[in-house]
Amino acid sequence: MAELIHNSCHDKVPNLWFVWKNSLVRPVVVQSSEQLISVSLEWNGQKVVLSMTHASYLRLDCRNLWVDLGIVASLSLLWAVIGDFNATLYSHEKRGPSRFNVGTAVEFQAMVDACELICFPSQRSKFTWTNNKYRGHVEAVLDRSFFNACWLDVFGDRGQQVLHRSVSDHAPILFALATTPKPKNAPFHFHHFWMEEGSFEGLVREVWIREVRGSPIGRLVQKLKAMKGALKGWAR
């Protein structure tokens, strides 16, 4: 058996839903609007906040959503966000005759930066939405999931999968929690999405050229340890 909660849409049908097994503790609604629902819950002793979004196609309304997400970010808890943001971050995330909206992308990126969100690494299909037209066919990355640094410290970058699109013009997005939190003494793990950041290569070069003393193997070990510490701090 399962239970569910949904957002509030005034006189409209609710468009955001959380479903969970009724054997689990009921999540607590932190925030609810026509574009967002956020809930907090306990997961293996950790307090987690999950947010689901369905952004408006109107830029002015999206600004309200960005503000609401900033409020959730200020809670400084383990946080993941998933949903339809109705905006792309980069020009290569849209394909077809329609124009890339620079202004919308800038505001979207500003929210991501302000909330210190990290995009889940994605697998399978790149584009999550299509207008389903034979002529003037457009595809875009409108649906995605994010997490913050607190989430990364406990669960790692589990990644998301873009599933097969069927009746909807949007593809389903799937991400799963680890069955157990990441142990505090877990070995260092390199995350491939780090290489997509512009400052990554410069950091590696800066750390690696530092002079160290000792045997060839000893110098290599020292450089690797220094790199590990630098990357951990840089990633946060």
pLDDT per position as a tens digit, 174-208: 877 654 445 455 556 677 778 878 888 888 888 88
CA 232/CA 229 separation, integer angstroms: 5
User: What does the alpha-carbon distance between residue 107 and residue 236 come to, in Å, rounded to a whole number?
Assistant: 22
pTM: 0.70
Q: Which residues pair with 147 in a beta bridge?
A: 80, 118
For strands 160-162 and 122-124, give the pairing: parallel
Helix (H, G, I), strand (E, B) or coil at 153: helix
The CATH number, out of the four listed (3.30.110.40, 3.40.50.880, 3.40.50.2300, 3.60.10.10), of the domain defined by the range 2-175: 3.60.10.10
Residue 149 dihedral angles phi and psi, to the nearest 5°: -65, -35
Give me the mean pLDDT over the 59-81 stretch. Answer: 92
86, two tokens: 């109705």
Rounded Cα gap, residues 128 and 172, in angstroms: 8
pLDDT the model gives residue 188? 67
Residue from 123, 120, 135, 28 nearest 83 by CA: 120
The domain spans of the chain are 2-175, 192-235
pLDDT in tens, 134-176: 788 888 989 999 999 888 888 776 778 888 877 888 888 887 7
Average pLDDT, the chain: 84
List the structure tokens of 9: 């849409």
Distance CA 41, CA 22 (A): 13
Q: Spell out a b/e string for 118-142, using b for 16 or more CB atoms within 10 Å of the CB, else e.
A: bbbebeeeebbbbeeeeeeeebbbb
pLDDT for residue 218:
77
Token output for 90: 């980069």
